[in-house]
Every structure is written in structure tokens, then in C-alpha cells.
Structure 1
């Protein structure tokens, strides 16, 4: 997945919005004002030349976060985030699309689970109607 397809997928989530509270270089994705992802272009310097990849921060269960880091070289502790609860997914083409979508879905649901029961019901109704 590239940054455009990731953005499109993030925006399919019920009540998803995007803003740039940290400046124009970081897109912040929220569900009902609660952050579930960020997307930004990283300009990390390699030894010989610059390496530019989009970085996707996603909330994650702590045990799963570590497991994903062990499985995928392109998953690292959350950059500028709580490293126990967030992962950074480097969009370098090495992780299958379905796996990135699954990680996005999990991040979204983890955030929704912390909301009030009425907000959860509203969001889940939208999810269910989208699946039909």
C-alpha cells in the first residue's frame, strides 16, 4: 500500500476525519475526535542516499505490537508515540495490503472500545451497514 491507498482506507472508517494539528507534514486521523492513526513522509537518511517512505502510526495491543515488530522489519516502535501502545508501519512495500488493513482496523477498534457505549453503538451500526 502507498500513502494514497492508506489514506483512502483510513477515510472509509465511520466518523473518520483528518486534520493537521502538528503541521502540514503530519496527517492525523481521528474517529469522533480520538486519534487512531497518523501518516507522514519520513526523510530518514541512509548511509549513502536519502530514503523516503511514508510512515503510518497505529494504536496496537501491547503484546501484538511486539509480535508485529518481531515479524516485520518495517514495523517499529511508534515514532513520537507511546512505544508500548503504538507501532510505526513503514510503507516500503514489504507488508501485504491485507495485513496493513488489518492493523488499521485493529487500531480503529481499540480507540472505539475506549468510547462511551452510545458512541460505540453509533459507530458499530455504521460498520455493520457498510458491510452489507
Structure 2
């Protein structure tokens, strides 16, 4: 996969967990039980087809107009979610930024107390 760093990088973020949604063949990344990113796998080959993340609607729309390999969220809400073609030409730095913004956006949807618990829980577990 072109973006082979995704799993390692996302799992290094505080509070992140992942699972496999077998029915969809998606590897999903969560913070506090809420999905912020997914790697959508091809049913036949098991290779990644799309990397999906949540963005502010205006930013997602802007990026879709700039890059043909960024499309409205694959099988997701087309306003809030965006998918990057795994074999496309989106620069790694931009995809990293998109995934970071998605993580922050979903983390920000929790109360301040819950955010602290999620961020500090990782530090306690690491000791």
C-alpha cells in the first residue's frame, strides 16, 4: 500500500483503538468509541481501496475540488466524510494532515472531561 504508515501512525495517537468491521471489510480507527478514520479493503484482494476520514465540510469540499483522488466519503455521509483513493496521488503530508484533523475533530466532540480521560488514559497505560 502506498500509505503503509497509516496503521502505525494512527495507533500512536492517544486513546486510539482499531477493529475490523468484517461485514464491510473495513479497518476502523476510533477514539472513545467513535470512528475517525477507516481503511476500506477490496473484498477480492484485501488491498486498501480508500482511506476515509472526517473533515469540516468546507475543507472537505475544498480538497475534493483540488484533488481528483479525494472523493465524498465512500459509503459514508458525503458532507462530513472524505475518501482518498489508496492508489492515488494525494501527498503523504496532506493525508497525514487530514487524518490528524479528523482525530482532533472527533476528539473535540467529547466533553472536556472525557477528552482529558482519553488523552491521559494512554499516558497511564504506558507507564
If the length of structure 1 is used for normalisation, what is the TM-score?
0.79
The CA distance in 2 between the partners of 1:24 and 1:18, in whole Å, is 14
The answer to whether the aligner puts 1:94 opposite 2:89 as a matched pair is yes
User: Which structure 2 residue ranges, 5 or more long, are not aligned?
Assistant: 123-127
**1:3–1:54 contact (8 Å) kept in structure 2:** no
Q: In the TM superposition, what is the alpha-carbon distance from 1:122 to its structure 2 partner?
A: 3.6
User: Which structure 1 residue ranges, 5 or more long, are not aligned?
Assistant: 44-51, 128-132
**1:77–1:87 contact (8 Å) kept in structure 2:** yes
**2:17–2:29 contact (8 Å) kept in structure 1:** yes
Q: In the TM superposition, what is the alpha-carbon distance from 1:30 to its structure 2 partner?
A: 0.3
- Choose which of 95, 113, 116 in structure 2 pairs with 1:118: 113
- Choose which of 51, 54, 57 in structure 1 pairs with 2:52: 57
**1:2–1:54 contact (8 Å) kept in structure 2:** no
Q: In the TM superposition, what is the alpha-carbon distance from 1:84 to its structure 2 partner?
A: 0.3
The answer to whether the aligner puts 1:103 opposite 2:98 as a matched pair is yes
- Partner of 1:87, secondary structure, is strand
The answer to which of 113-122 and 61-70 deviates more is 113-122
Q: In the TM superposition, what is the alpha-carbon distance from 1:8 to its structure 2 partner?
A: 1.4
Cα pair distance change 1:24/1:65, threshold 3 Å:
closer
Moved over 4 A (4+): 123-127
Across the aligned residues of Structure 1 and Structure 2, the Cα RMSD in angstroms comes to 2.4
